[in-house]
Amino acid sequence: MSESINRGDPATLPPDEAFAVLGNETRIRILHVLADAPEPLSFSDLYDRIDYDPSTNFSYHLKKLEGHFVRKTDEGYELGQVGNRVVQAVLSGTMTEAPLLERTRIDHRCEFCGADTEISYTKGYLGLYCTECPGNATDEVPEKFRGYLRAQPFPPAGLEGRSATEIHQAAFTWGNLQRLSLASDLCPICSAQLETTMDICETHDSDGDLCETCDRRRLVSVTTRCTNCIIEGGGPLRTFLLADTEVLAFLTTHGINPLAPSTEPWAKLETRSEEIVSREPAVVRLTFVVDADTLTLTVDSDLSVVDVTRSEISTSE
């Protein structure tokens, strides 16, 4: 029997009212001041720190924030968790900034052909492109997407004070922490559970290139969708095995840090083979190689590792 969870009053503040409350410069300023304060502020202290139009009613604006965004305690006023998230979103630039970075060459090699790569940034997404091969893009894509390797959301604040190569590394690390969350069946945005599906191409024939059937290089991929918020995505199966202890041990043995990774060590990790053990139910066998060491995992449809083999490959291969 499942436990009953008390979610509190679901109608505390409907979304439309929440956004209406935040649509005021004085209220946003109150949140910023409370975020900077090391301890709760009394009404008079908070009043003195706010640069606002004297013709407005300060008490009225503060009252609008109380309960949902701001807590009133015996010690004074402080940010609630929701207020914290609002300030974080504003400071990250996600809600207020739209920087643009045209394609810029970086110190990173294409995982498929070894050529130079470029990054671009637009609409909150960082894109990585190969300068020589088609990457993961089909022949039908517009010229601006040629060489496409991958794209991921990245807050605008991550671009500040970094070179193009440093931006790519920061985005790779930031995104990898999100992938670890996805691999743990945890939405990195709202913490809800995920619906995850293993996808196997029925007539896969890539030979290292894009398959004409699925437009992927990998036989097996994974799609995921949050059961609560709008987060959805997907990628190679190996991405969703990052939380497995055998995979973690294999990576760290070869100097690959899955928590704060560098793109160069990750480039050493090769998917040597993908084998379908069973389609109904779906069971696949993956073999990864780093240097002369191999890790073979048998994975079921729930993305659970059911068998592990680790060995060294022959130097004559």
CA distance 129 to 120: 8
Confidence check: pLDDT of 5 > 60:
no
Q: What is the pLDDT of residues 28-58, one digit of tens each?
A: 888 888 988 889 999 989 988 887 666 568 8
Please report which helix (H) or strand (E) contains residue 180, including its range: helix 164-183
CA distance 164 to 104: 7
Confidence check: pLDDT of 264 > 70:
no
Residue with the bigger pLDDT between 130 and 144: it is 130
CA distance 81 to 133: 46
Q: What is the pLDDT of residues 131-166, one digit of tens each?
A: 999 888 877 778 778 899 989 889 888 998 999 999
pTM over 0.75, yes/no: no
Confidence check: pLDDT of 101 > 50:
yes
- Residue 196's pLDDT band, with cuts at 50, 70 and 90, is very high
Fold of 15-92: Arc Repressor Mutant, subunit A (1.10.10)
User: Which amino acid, one-letter code, is at 244?
Assistant: D
Confidence check: pLDDT of 63 > 70:
yes
pLDDT in the model for residue 307: 95
**Helix, strand or coil for residue 130?**
strand
Indicate the domain borders of the chain.
15-92, 97-161, 240-312
